[in-house]
Structure 1
Amino acid sequence: MRTVIFIPARYASTRYPGKPLVELRQKDGSTKSLIQMSWEAARAIEGVDAVYVATDDVRIAEHGRGFGAEVVMTSEACENGTARCADALAQLDEAPELVVNFQGDAPLTPPWFVEKLIAAMRADPTVSMATPVLRCDRQTYENFVEDRQNGRVGGTTAVFDRYQNALYFSKEVLPYIAPGKLPEPIPVFHHVGVYAYRPAALQAYIDAPVSTLETLEGLEQLRFLAAGMPARCVEVDARGRVFWELNNPEDVARIEAALEAQ
């Protein structure tokens, strides 16, 4: 099954303009851009035939080519990463059987997260779209709560049914847990912003109308749910690694601390 990874990247982020080009300090004291770190993380994933940076911004494209990335220039009209993946897919000479959307703001994503996602898609041909979820440890849960208490939009949580199909995704911390009643294991799942789609699912997404929930939450994957298209949640194991995305400037320190600890 031919599999390609697209890393959607845009310069004009509402919360953090220029985010893909932000430099992060590495363990050895050097710095690398967020998009380069994400590209390197994607290239470490086994079972992938090609990795592309998908962008509409010349600055990101030139920077990506500078560190060796293949770049696909996409339309400025792409409203989110899924739409950008669909646009990039249409430009390939050879269509793959599986497309992975690897977020350009998540360089801490371990390769086995995506490898398990790809394996799940290969094992069940009825699944048209899948995404990883990670059970929160106490530190991650506290990061979620701290962000919300300070009015910041942090990571995304996911709730799903007994068949692992998503019920909802939210930037709120779901399910709600009353103060002082946090159970173990913590029943909150961090949605890892990676998606695997079959090409037909990408086309169905583009054909579906933008949903109210998608607009309110600012979460592109809610269009799948609103259109009645199942989203399979694949639980992954952090294996002791810290996972966090770069959503806000405050996250730079969190990610640099995680790099130092690895």
Structure 2
Amino acid sequence: MVIPARYGSTRLPGKPLQPIAGRMLLERVAALAIAAARQLGDAEVLVATDDERILAVARGLGLEAVMTASEISSGSGRALAALKATGRSAGLVVNLQGDAPFTAPEHIVEIVQTARASTADVTTPVVQLDWARLDALIAHKQTTPASGTTCIRDGAGRAVWFSKAVLPFMRKPAELRAAGPLSPVLQHIGLYCYRTPALEAFEAAPQSAYEQLEGLEQLRLIELGLDIRAVIVKPARITMSGVDSPADVERAERLIGELGDPFVDWRR
């Protein structure tokens, strides 16, 4: 599994080295990656960066790390470049979000296990929202419309579509709410396990039409006709999208203070 760790960030330069409650963002993501790798038993963790400072810090933490070109714009592209830089031939490549310190290791394990047991080109996790979480997502979108991505999947678990809109539209929401605690809305978690040929096909293709419209790179996968399995997982203990700004750092630290710190030091 690869952790893309790019130095440049408009709102939070040097983001991977940003401390959050006493632990660098990179350190936090590495800890959850290593926890997942240990559960899987035969997975490796690799940091892919474009900056010598991050490279030095990663290696100082005891992590394997490689340099990749600064012009690579996507995490998936950096993951593929890292794989090539090491000369590895991996059947499956997990692209972790380098700015998501609360990703549940169990989510990584579940998408890898699904990939191993299926012929899917890509596996990715989704959470079926209860009504309270759905209401919170809708409220958040009033001020930040591009926050949160939803997913539609078919009966076999294949992703049909992803959107920044809340899908599906519900004509009779009151009846649905009375029927049970879970809404029909699946929220996507930006974590992917690729078969290497699928990752190569994704990177070789130009941005697709709907990808550009919604700003969602996973729509390129759908427009390429790839088989994406959306795996329903339980919500993480701490739920938060990526750390992209000083305000996000403050929110992450507040959540840690309220809910406890999930960080587990793998070096002990």
TM-score tier (shorter):
0.7 to 0.9
In the alignment, residue 166 of structure 1 is paired with which amino acid?
A
Contiguous gaps of at least 5 residues in structure 1: 26-30
1:216 is aligned to 2:209: no
The CA distance in 1 between the partners of 2:18 and 2:139, in whole Å, is 23
Q: Is the contact made by 1:117 and 1:132 (CA closer than 8 Å) also made in structure 2? A: yes
For the Cα contact (< 8 Å) 2:131–2:182, is it kept in 1?
A: no
Is 1:32 aligned to residue 26 of structure 2?
no
**Aligned to 2:93, what secondary structure does the other structure show?**
strand
- Residues 1:63 and 2:57 are matched in the alignment: yes
Residue 239 of structure 2 corresponds to residue 243 of structure 1: yes
Evaluate the alpha carbon distance shift between residue 32 and residue 129 of structure 1 in structure 2; reply closer, same or farther with a 3 A threshold. same
- TM value normalised by structure 1: 0.85
**Superimposed CA distance per residue, residues 10-38 of structure 1 (whole angstroms, 9 cap, x where no aligned partner):** 2323564433232211xxxxx11212100
Summarize the alignment of residues 86-125 of structure 1 with structure 2, pairs less than 5 Å apart: 86-124=80-118
Task: Write out per-residue CA displacement over residues 28-84 of structure 1, whole angstroms, 9 at most, x where no aligned residue.
Answer: xxx112121001110001224310111112332233223222112111232211111
Q: Which amino acid aligns with 2:19?
A: E
- Aligned length, in residue pairs: 251
- Report the structure, 1 or 2, having the larger helix content: 2
1 CA distance for matches of 2:59 and 2:140?
A: 35
| SS in structure 2 at match of 1:193 | coil
1:196 correspondence with 2:209: no
Given candidates 110, 124, 132, the residue that maps to 1:131 is: 124
Q: Equivalents in 1 of 2:172, 2:137: separation in Å?
A: 14
Please show how residues 40-79 of structure 1 align to structure 2 within 5 Å: 40-45=31-36, 46-47=39-40, 48-79=42-73
C-alpha deviation, 1:165, in angstroms? 1.1
Answer whether contact 2:95 2:192 (CA < 8 A) is retained: yes
Moved more, 228-237 or 138-147: 138-147
SS in 1 for 2:101: coil
CA–CA separation in structure 2 for the residues paired with 1:180 and 1:167: 22
Which residue identity lines up with residue 235 of structure 1 in the other structure?
I
Q: Which has the larger radius of gyration?
A: 2
Distance in structure 2 (CA, Å) of the matches to 1:57 and 1:131: 28
Distance 2:128 2:11 in 1: 26
Determine the C-alpha separation between the residues in 2 that align with 1:242 and 1:153. 20
Please say if residues 155 and 247 of structure 1, whose CA atoms lie closer than 8 Å, have aligned partners that are also in contact.
Answer: no
Change (3 A) 1:219 1:247: farther
Larger CA deviation: 168-177 vs 185-194: 168-177
Aligned to 1:151: 144
RMSD: 2.4
